[in-house]
Structure 1
Amino acid sequence: MKKLLTTSFVYCILGLFAGVYYREITKYNNFTGDTQLSVLHTHLLMLGMFMFLIVLMLEKNFGIMKSKKFKLFYYIYNLGLLLTVGLMVFHGTMTVFGKETGAAVSGIAGLGHILLALGLVFLFLTVYERLKVKG
């Protein structure tokens, strides 16, 4: 359970840092347009911090970490989230600097979203499995 709380805390720190990064980089560059950096803060807090606080409660109530599928959820979901937000940082920063990004950036970000979805599927499979065991 400590692993889940630590994961949540790391995403909390990243989310807070992302908010500061967005504010400072746009202010320093006098940027007033739209950028993906504006939603990076909420993505990290909701899909990272709050998600793993919810998973912590599922672990407390159903022991979901005992399932072999849990490891698949944990690593695939985290990889997908880090890939997604990493590309958001890259794309958003390039937007602030007035640079274009290619289609590959969108494609890799799409891969991150696919991994997030796959991770969620494994989470649901894990919870269903543990519900059967708990009866």
Structure 2
Amino acid sequence: MRRSLHTAHVYMILGLVSGLFYREFTKLNDFTGESQLSVVHTHLLALGMLVFLIVLGLDKVFGLSGMKSFNVFYWLYNTGMVITVGSMVFRGVQTVLGNEIPEVFAFLSGAGHIVLTIGLIAFFGALGKRVKKPTADTPAESS
């Protein structure tokens, strides 16, 4: 569980720093257009910090962190975040500097999102194994 807390904390710091970087880097370069840098901040805070705070709560309730599928989720999800955010930062910086962006970076961002999705599938696999079906002597929850 502490790993999820530390991961959320790291994503919070990166999210805040990326927002500061976006504001100062675009101001320094007199850039007023659109770039990928404008959404790095929200990606890190929402897909990083908030997701891992939710994971922390679910881990506390269901004891997920010792499971193999949870570890698969953790590493795939974070790898997907690094690929996605890294390609977004590179594209954003190149846009602000007025440089041409190689097409491979559009592919990399998409690949990062795919790795994120596979990680989420592993997370739901771990969660599904821990969420117990109602027994005969306990009432089932209404749908």
TM over 0.5: yes
The code of the aligned residue for 1:63 comes to G
What RMSD, in angstroms, separates the aligned Cα atoms of the two structures? 1.4
Aligned to 1:44: 44
Q: CA deviation at 1:133?
A: 8.4
The amino acid that maps onto 2:114 is: I
SS in 2 for 1:66: coil
Q: Who wins on radius of gyration, i.e. which is larger? A: 2
State the alpha-carbon separation in 2 of the partners of residues 51 and 84 from structure 1: 15
- Alignment-derived partner of residue 27 in structure 1: 27
Aligned to 1:9: 9
Shift of 1:110: 1.1
* Alpha-carbon displacement from aligned partner over 1:69-100 (angstroms, at most 9, x marks no partner): 00000000000011100010000000000011
**What is the aligned-residue identity percentage?**
50
Specify the alignment match of 1:60 in structure 2. 60
Q: Provide the secondary structure at the position in 2 that maps to 1:27.
A: helix
Post-superposition shift, 1:66? 2.5
Q: How many equivalent residue pairs?
A: 135
C-alpha change, 1:85 and 1:134, in structure 2 (3 Å) is: farther
Match of 1:97 in 2: 97
- Is the Cα contact below 8 Å between 1:67 and 1:129 reproduced in 2? no
Gaps of 5+ in 1: none
Q: Which residue of 2 aligns with 1:131?
A: 131
Q: Which runs of 5+ in 2 are unaligned?
A: 136-143
1:109, distance to aligned residue in structure 2 (A): 1.2
Amino acid at match of 1:104: V
Could you tell me how far apart the structure 2 residues matched to 1:55 and 1:134 are? 23
